[in-house]
């Protein structure tokens, strides 16, 4: 039986990039993985087929040979024959490492757990930068056993009898070899014969901690700041994890941010828009500036203020500010105001008055419509 084309197996084109090939492989491997298809011989065969195809196409030299000679390039014990070298299994271990709780070659925990915290800041604080104090629960080395987990300071820990010090256990699932952290020593490779009474052998104890975090100017909403070594302490003297601070920016009542630019909608009276005016507008840095509104300004008109926008992260420059005019129709008119508006209306020639270009243009189109011209 002839073998299927490797590109057809992964459902990619012959011009596919290495990134596209890897993505397709991961999807297929997850689809046909034995753990998800127990007892399904067809899925197992396809899983082998997918790995064989990827083992060739991920390697530039093997792929070039395959493109030129096809499957004949790997006959007679050539490279890639069988398709299940160490590389193929290695990629599978990398893919399912998080599910297994470990990575290829990893037995013992290399560091303490990372900690995730969240802090909220104002938009003005995101503009200028701010220092925030975050509080969080963490774990530090036990003060009773100095982090060893053992109550016997004179006796060291013993080699785990289950994994024999490797920290991991291998098991066969069909043809697939799976490695998991040892359930007896939890991946440390050692067991404690006389656990510390305070930490119960973990070597760690709870601690409430406060830390000042410097948030830079120009930071975006949803940004994550990493502080190395401020996570939970590692067991048996291993390095601590990291602290990740997720920054949430509270929406502002006046300003809306879009990258380095700021938008602000300013209400303008009908008389100001008609006659022209000079208005004062706020700036995100706490200052203010004046904007000239030309005669006949329409609602929705935008004015650009260069260099008045938001801070740019790790830069001294700033974006621009855009002022959008919203012309308001007056309400609750006095008797005199109504008389003045009625007098103004009587001075207008008709709905096609050139003083209202949008109105005249619209009704001109309406006229053409009724006359069948559009």
Query: What is the DSSP track for 297-333?
Result: PPTT-EEEETT-SPBPTTSS-B--EEEEEEEEPP-S-
113 DSSP assignment: P
| Alpha-helix runs per DSSP H in the chain | 6-10, 18-32, 41-57, 60-69, 86-100, 123-128, 270-275, 335-347, 357-370
Residues 280-302 have a mean pLDDT of: 95
CA distance 290 to 278: 6
How far lies 372's CA from each of 130, 359, 361, in Å?
Answer: 64, 20, 17
Q: Return the pLDDT at 228.
A: 92
pLDDT at 89: 42
Distance CA 284, CA 121 (A): 15
Pick out the residues of the known binding site for Zn(2+). Answer: 142, 145, 160, 163, 182, 185, 196, 199
Checking if the pLDDT of 226 tops 60, the result is yes
Residue 333 to residue 344: CA distance in whole angstroms: 15
Q: Round to whole Å and give the CA distance between 241 and 148.
A: 18
Q: Tell whether domain 6-100 is in CATH 3.30.360.10.
A: no
Q: What is the dihedral sign for C-alpha 352, 357, 359, 364?
A: positive
- pLDDT class for 68, splitting at 50, 70, 90? confident
Q: What distance in Å separates the CA atoms of residue 346 and residue 354, rounded to the nearest whole number?
A: 15
Q: Which of 7-21, 228-242, 353-367 has the highest mean pLDDT?
A: 7-21
Which of 137-141, 162-166, 357-361 has the largest mean confidence? 137-141
DSSP 3-state percent helix, strand, coil across the chain (nearest 5): 30, 25, 45
Q: Which residues are annotated as a binding site?
A: 142, 145, 160, 163, 182, 185, 196, 199
pTM more than 0.75: no
Domain boundaries, the chain: 6-100, 255-331, 336-370
CATH fold for the domain made of 255-331: HSP40/DNAj peptide-binding domain (2.60.260)
pLDDT score of 130: 96
């Amino acid at each position: 039986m002839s073998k299927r084309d490797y590109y057809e197996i992964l459902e990619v084109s012959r011009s596919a990039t290495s990134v596209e090939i890897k993505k397709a492989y991961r999807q297929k491997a997850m689809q046909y993985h034995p753990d998800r298809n127990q007892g399904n011989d067809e899925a197992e065969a396809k899983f082998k087929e997918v790995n064989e195809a990827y083992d060739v196409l991920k390697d530039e030299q093997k792929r070039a040979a395959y493109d030129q000679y096809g499957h004949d390039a790997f006959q007679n014990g050539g490279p890639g024959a069988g398709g299940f070298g160490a590389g193929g299994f290695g990629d599978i271990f990398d893919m399912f490492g998080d599910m297994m709780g470990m990575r290829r070659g990893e037995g013992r925990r290399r560091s303490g757990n990372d900690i995730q915290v969240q802090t909220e800041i104002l938009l003005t604080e995101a503009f200028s930068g701010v220092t925030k104090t975050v509080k969080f629960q963490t774990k530090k080395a036990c003060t009773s056993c100095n982090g060893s987990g053992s109550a016997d300071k004179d006796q060291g820990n013993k080699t785990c009898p289950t994994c024999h010090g490797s920290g991991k256990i291998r098991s066969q699932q069909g043809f697939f070899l799976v490695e998991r952290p040892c359930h007896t020593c939890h991946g440390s490779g050692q067991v404690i014969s006389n656990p510390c009474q305070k930490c119960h052998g973990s070597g760690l104890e709870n601690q409430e901690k406060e830390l000042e975090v410097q948030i830079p100017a120009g930071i975006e909403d949803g940004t994550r700041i990493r502080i190395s070594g401020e996570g939970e302490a590692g067991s048996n003297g291993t390095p601590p994890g990291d602290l990740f601070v997720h920054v949430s920016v509270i929406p502002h009542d006046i300003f809306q941010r879009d990258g380095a630019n700021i938008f602000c909608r300013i209400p303008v009276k009908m008389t100001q828009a008609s006659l022209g005016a000079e208005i004062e507008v706020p700036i995100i840095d706490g200052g203010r500036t004046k904007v000239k509104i030309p005669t006949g300004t329409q609602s929705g008109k935008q004015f650009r203020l260069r260099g008045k926008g938001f801070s740019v992260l790790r830069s001294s420059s700033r974006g621009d500010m855009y002022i959008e005019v919203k012309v308001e129709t007056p309400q609750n008119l006095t008797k005199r105001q109504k008389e003045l508006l009625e007098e103004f209306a009587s001075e207008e020639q008709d709905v096609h008055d050139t003083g209202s270009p949008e109105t005249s243009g619209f009704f001109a189109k309406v006229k053409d419509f009724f006359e069948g011209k559009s």
